[in-house]
Structure 1
Amino acid sequence: MVHGDVGELMVADLINSNLHIWRNEEVMAYFHKEEADAICQIPLSRRDVNDDIIWLHNSKRLFTVKSAYHVVRKLLIDGNWVGTSGGCAERKLWTAIWKLKLPNKIKFFGWRACNDILSTAMNLTRRKIIKESNCLLCMRELESTVHALWDCVAVQDIWTGSIRKLQKWSVHGQADMKQLMEALLERLTLDEWDLFWAQAWFIWNQRNCVVHGGKLKELSSLTKRAKEFADEFKQAQDHLAVQNRQQVSGDVWQPPSTAEYKLNFDAVIFSGLDRFGFGAIVRNEKGQVMATISASGPRVNTSDEAELLACCRAIEFAIDVGFSRLIIKGDNSNVIQAISSPLQNFSLFGNVVNDIRYLLCGLRWVRVGCIRRGANKVAHVLAQYARNTLDEDMYWMEDSLPPALEALYHDCLSL
């Protein structure tokens, strides 16, 4: 929405073609504040490029039926066409299932059970696959999902001996699994919720064994097996997490070969300041500092946007000070993938991606790669330091870096 007489105003009239920046005062004069702020955040290319039409509702900025479906669904929910208190309860249920600390096969089993698409006797009868819909374990009731996993007399002893909070909770006769799960979510802790689904999965496997001609095992033993299974999975996940932390902590900066220089960059968003900071450093094969910058930029919405702008500024800086053979390293995999990809980038920051690719083509030799934060500490400290100098860009040429001496020392220890 605009206010004022725009007449024959063109988008180009709102851009300073010499500095390649928005004319903020003109934009603010013609648009309401929220729209003007959004416009001024659109990055402009430093080259003369053609305009592109992009789709805002997915990360690749390309229209897909899937993304359009999500847009329509969100509009319906926001407009109260769908989504009641029951809808909120369902979202809570799905979140709890997908966050189970159990293997994905059990999460998928839980999703199928709550959607009533397990191959119970009732479902198979409805599809005319079998004729009898009675439960094969108790032979008394129709086998629905909630009966097979909860109400059946053959499995009630398992639940009363499994989770302490269920031992005196004899509520049965729920309409479906969703209703039962909503009640359990209010009653069980997270660990008990995990154990419930591990137990349900073992019960269903035992039921399938009987249906396909196997013998009925001692059901009480399933309680112990489910507990051991859940505990073993959590221990394995904790072990993997420790290994990953050890691997990350061991990452160190690696020097380039004699003929090249290494450029590290990083960005940090300063919450509450409507700014972001970035840092970049160029070093030789001995780890000696060749050139460094610590500066700030305008407000951005995501870390990917900040990292892209930091990457562009870092490469421009390295070229300006005379480096043409560079190994460029950053710790944001999305950014590194975007600038390394041969495909056209239609994202909101596609102009920045294309500018970076253009700068890379002007180098005599270049290699781009992603590293972990442990090998990018100096650039990160420089990005953080920009908080102290929001109105001034700081440069160091072949000099020690007072803001990052400790990080530099740590990197030198690995040489």
Structure 2
Amino acid sequence: MGSGTWKHELVKQLLLSHEAEVIGGIPLSANPQEDKQIWALTTTSLFSVRSAYWIAMEGMSNGGSTTVSNDGSQRKCWKYLWSINLPHKVRHFAWRACRDILPTKENLKRRKVLVDSCCEACHLEAESSGHLFWHCSSAKEVWRATKLFSGLMNSPFSSFMDLMWYVIMVAKWGNEEVEKILMIAWVMWMNRNKARHGGEKKSSEALFDFALEYLREYQLCCELPAVAQTKEYPKWHPPPMKHGKKIVASLGAVETEAKAFEFGLQFARDMLIHDFVLEGDSLVVVNALKETSPPPALVAVLSNVRSLAHGFRNVKFSHIGRQGNRPAHLLAKHAYGIADFSVWIEEDHCFLEEALLHNVFVAFS
């Protein structure tokens, strides 16, 4: 700074772009003076533990980090993060990442859990949130694949909070871009955890594609039209406690529905399920299963269904209208695009989460 002007290129290299812009606007004295450190929170310009303590307590009471901007802006940022259209687990991840409380290797070393904090992907730096989601070569590959940060790849974001602060509060990107960034970061974190425990480390393109597909399916589910308040549709109720499982038959024409019951029984047999309720939305098929003389077109299939049913301890056939079981309807539509046999056990696919929350009624005693 001997020339009496800022070294703008050096400032831009060391600081974030918006910080460099603010610093560059600070006028310099015409009379060169020796540089010195000043603590702006005391009248003496000297650091005190007391002032630092009050700053820390104020930040904690506002539920935000004390490292960026003022408290009002922090509250605005947090409110925005919690309101975007993402699954709750992704928003919770974003909050933890911004607060720097994810179990990164650097945080685990700080808590005496690990001895080594070196990043396992590049082996160049400590695995902090800033390194993991921005500076690491693996992270750079993912962001390049997204093309979201064109012209910003060399920005010195030191933490995940710095990255999100720039995107939300400084550049003011739209919801669609912010949602993509957080979903991609969450997928990166999940893949990092799987790889650490012996799982497959996916390519940057695979991570990007999976994140966009997951986001698309979730938001499509959220766009389902709300059921009009004036019309009451039946709610699905779980089977009695003695029946441990429920198998949903696919939707379709009558013959297809009957065949779906047959496949449902075969699946239950393969999974060693002995007590269950088999549901479908075809009243014709359900009634035919309860009668001794089904319609001629269904005789062959229903005869096989009854034969299979005798091999179980307790099987009941039940009818529920399509509007009464929205998740089953969505599942049937999803099946049109699946070529292979797919099974989910003890978990729900993302596109079913919202439908299950709004459609399934479970009574607790």
> Structure 1 length normalisation: TM-score?
0.38
Q: Would you tell me which structure has more strand in proportion to its own residues? A: 1
Larger RCO, structure (CA 8 Å, separation 6 or more): 1
Output the TM-score relative to the length of structure 2: 0.43
